[in-house]
Structure 1
């Protein structure tokens, strides 16, 4: 049952991304800058998270654990900002489907490598033919979306 809930959460998160891309692209156009659009997106997200933490009475002391990590783990927030800015730039030019097709294909390729080598502490899952075929099919899907 827990596995089903995780899959449903992944689907929900996946559906939200194209919606976010459309919304953020319009913000970027309105403020005439993908950087400002990204800033607004992150500010709204930060306010939403703060409100959630207040409403759920989160234990604020738990945040100390983040300060014990090596410095490079903090780059994740910067990578998120670059990703959102790229989506704001790409969506109006490539369309939502192609933008996400390319980014998902890149995520899958790099994700398979990360899994194979266990980079950043993720569980190791060796590259095998089935994974290669799966990634190849995603790339083929991107090619079809691009062509039609």
Structure 2
């Protein structure tokens, strides 16, 4: 199978998992009395799962390479925590589709800007009319999900 196609399928499935994560964490939020508590439990379960997979795959980190990373390479988990807390809080108020649509819109907007500048050492991909139109269409989708 084409590696690019396989990557796209994997990312679409991960997006589906994100859509599943939002309502399950919202349900957990109700029992835990706060979106922060729900996110804490969610990350604890995720950490345990990743630990098991790392043991099975016998992966070992390159400690020397990790020491040389810039500060921003260490804060990805913080962004994930914000995402999970926001989703758990947003779903009961906005619904699953609206919450996920808004999150995707925000991801695309920031992604477009990061690509344009080649932020964090990533390949630079300038904003083009077509790429900008794609993001605008997602925001139109937000309005359609909200109004229809």
Distance 1:61 1:16, change over 3 A: closer
Q: Does 1:72 align with 2:72?
A: yes
Q: How many angstroms does 1:66 deviate by?
A: 2.4
Answering whether residue 7 of structure 2 is matched by residue 6 of structure 1, we say: yes
Q: CA deviation at 1:67?
A: 2.7
Structure 1 unaligned regions, length at least 5:
none
Question: May I ask how many residue pairs the two structures share in their alignment?
Answer: 147
User: Distance between the aligned counterparts of 1:47 and 1:54, measured in 2?
Assistant: 11
1:54-65 correspondence to structure 2 within 5 Å: 54-58=55-59, 60-65=60-65
CA–CA distance in structure 1, aligned partners of residues 28 and 61 of structure 2: 34
Residue 143 (structure 2) aligns with: 143
Deviation at 1:78, TM superposition (A): 1.0
User: Which 5+ residue runs of structure 2 have no aligned equivalent?
Assistant: none
Matched, 1:43 2:36: no
Structure-2-length-normalised TM-score: 0.95
Superposition pairs of residues 101-120 of structure 1, within 5 angstroms: 101-120=101-120
RMSD: 1.1
How far apart are residue 64 of structure 1 and its match? 4.4
